[in-house]
Chains A and B, each alone.
Chain A
Amino acid sequence: MPDQTSWLEAELARQFCPVSAPDALWNRIHEQRRPLRVRPERRPMAMGSVAAIALLIVAAGMFWRMGVTRDPSEEITSDDPRQIRSWVKAKSNIDIPLPDQPTLGRLLGARIIRLQQYSVAVVNYRVGSESATLLVTDRPATGESRSPGHTSPRIKITGDTALYSWSLGPDDYTIAFSGVKEPRAACLLCHVNTPALMVLR
């Protein structure tokens, strides 16, 4: 074919032509614009927090590594943060201040798991090719005063999973995140930037 080279060039240009990004792409990347409410100072961990966070880490490990027995009534599939927040609140009385706007990650759903006297709310995300799971439990009241900001931060790396734990108000949080190479991304699930990591370090 005499014009094969030019045909090939033209055909490659046609098959590889640039395209416009879909409008929905930003929604998948959009960050929460809520200002951070973090405390820069570190405080000694109360024993109750130690126990609760240890429990969360155990729960995260169970959920992440082995999965847990599924009860359909304890599970919801949704990408709507408001729906998930109200469902979790109704099921466990745990109020998770999920951003109203879509966050960096894509919400997949939530479930409640029961461990000892605790209920643990489990919220699942997809972040690019990585998975993230937010676990939240409310520690039984002990009379211990709790700061309104992030306190008692901890990071634990186990293989290809990073566990970030902290307390916020009456609740204890853990994020299990598979993106160990990009640890700051875990903060972007709820925050516009990553300074929250400053108190998690």
Chain B
Amino acid sequence: MRAIVLEESDKELIEACRRGDPDAFRALFELHKDQVYSVALRYSGDAAIAQDIAQETFLKLFTRIGSFRGDADFSSWLYRLVVNSCLDQKRKTRRLAPLLDEAIAILQSPAISALDEVVRTELSHHLRSVLEDLADDQRMLLVLRYTQGLSYDEIALILDTSNGTIASRLNRIHRTLERRLSRFATRKDRHHA
């Protein structure tokens, strides 16, 4: 996660944005574009929708930068913008993004056998279908945790809840995923036996 505490240069950049400096807007965009787009893409699962979300997020950023308090946590503030933009999107348009090259990833992993590869691929596909059924807020939790690598404390700050709540919800999601994958896990164990 980007440093919570603003560096002096970041403060200057934000101040320049407040003055309407177009170069500062561009610089701020370059600093945060991957962060915003990654959340948008992993949440929406659609590149076109992700670009819409990212565009809307930066639009909000540029128009609301004047209301950002300089002593506040800019990173959390930006995350809230993108999270809200994501949640504003209709869930029906959501689907998981095709993996860039799943086959290559599988081939590069230390597979034990061809059969093992098949089972892993099947598990991976099944996980994707399970993830598609998650509620919007559950999916956003996973995005913040796994796409951005945020700690429970950081996620709690963004979602305005407690550390314990985040831990509990993530634990529940994991248990749900493991339960729904158990049928495939059993099959895999049987193959290995």
Q: Contact residues of A with B, CB < 8 Å?
A: 1, 4-5, 7-8, 11-22, 24-26, 28-29, 31, 33, 104, 127-130, 182, 184-185, 188, 192-195
The residue in A11, A18, A184, A194 that gathers the most chain B C-beta atoms within 10 A of its C-beta is A18
CA distance A13 to B147 in the complex (A): 7
CA distance A127 to B131 in the complex (A): 29
CA distance A15 to B37 in the complex (A): 15
CA distance A109 to B185 in the complex (A): 53
User: What's the minimum C-beta distance from A79 to chain B, rounded to whole angstroms?
Assistant: 14
User: What's the minimum C-beta distance from A146 to chain B, rounded to whole angstroms?
Assistant: 27
Q: Which residues in A have their C-beta under 8 angstroms from that of B29? A: 26, 29
14 further A-B pairs in the complex, CB-CB below 8 A; given A19-B37, A25-B55: A4-B185, A8-B177, A13-B146, A15-B127, A15-B131, A19-B34, A21-B38, A22-B37, A22-B47, A25-B54, A104-B59, A127-B55, A185-B59, A194-B63
State whether A127 and B59 are in contact (beta carbons under 8 Å apart), knowing that A5-B178, A8-B178, A22-B47 are contacts in the complex.
yes
Which residue of the partner chain, among A8, A25, A127, A192, contacts B22 with CB atoms under 8 Å?
A: A192
The residue in B22, B55, B143 that gathers the most chain A C-beta atoms within 10 A of its C-beta is B55
CA distance A21 to B53 in the complex (A): 12
CA distance A149 to B54 in the complex (A): 33
The closest CB in chain B to the CB of A193 belongs to: B20
User: What's the minimum C-beta distance from B61 to chain A, rounded to whole angstroms?
Assistant: 9
- Are the C-beta atoms of A26 and B51 separated by less than 8 Å? no
Which residue of the partner chain, among A12, A19, A195, contacts B146 with CB atoms under 8 Å?
A: A12
- Are the C-beta atoms of A16 and B146 separated by less than 8 Å? yes
State whether A195 and B59 are in contact (beta carbons under 8 Å apart), knowing that A1-B185, A16-B42, A21-B36 are contacts in the complex.
no
- Are the C-beta atoms of A29 and B99 separated by less than 8 Å? no
Q: Which residues in A have their C-beta under 8 angstroms from that of B47? A: 22
Q: Which residues in B have their C-beta under 8 angstroms from that of A127? A: 55-56, 59
Contact of B96 with A by CB under 8 A: yes
The closest CB in chain A to the CB of B39 belongs to: A18
- Are the C-beta atoms of B128 and A15 separated by less than 8 Å? yes
Q: Which residues in B have their C-beta under 8 angstroms from that of A16? A: 42, 142-143, 145-147
The closest CB in chain A to the CB of B43 belongs to: A16
Number of chain B residues whose Cβ lies closer than 8 Å to a Cβ of chain A = 50
CA distance A14 to B97 in the complex (A): 12
When A and B form their complex, which 10 residue pairs have the shortest distance between CB atoms, in order from nearest? A128-B56, A193-B20, A21-B37, A1-B185, A16-B146, A21-B33, A18-B38, A16-B147, A184-B63, A12-B146
CA distance A104 to B56 in the complex (A): 10
CA distance A171 to B186 in the complex (A): 72
- Are the C-beta atoms of A26 and B26 separated by less than 8 Å? yes
Q: Mark B123-167, 1 if CB is under 8 A from A, else 0.
A: 110011001000000000011011110000000000000000000
Contact of B7 with A by CB under 8 A: no
- Are the C-beta atoms of B147 and A18 separated by less than 8 Å? yes
- Are the C-beta atoms of A21 and B34 separated by less than 8 Å? yes
- Are the C-beta atoms of B124 and A11 separated by less than 8 Å? yes
The closest CB in chain B to the CB of A33 belongs to: B22
User: What's the minimum C-beta distance from B28 to chain A, rounded to whole angstroms?
Assistant: 11
- Are the C-beta atoms of B105 and A14 separated by less than 8 Å? yes
Contact of B10 with A by CB under 8 A: no
Contact of B75 with A by CB under 8 A: no
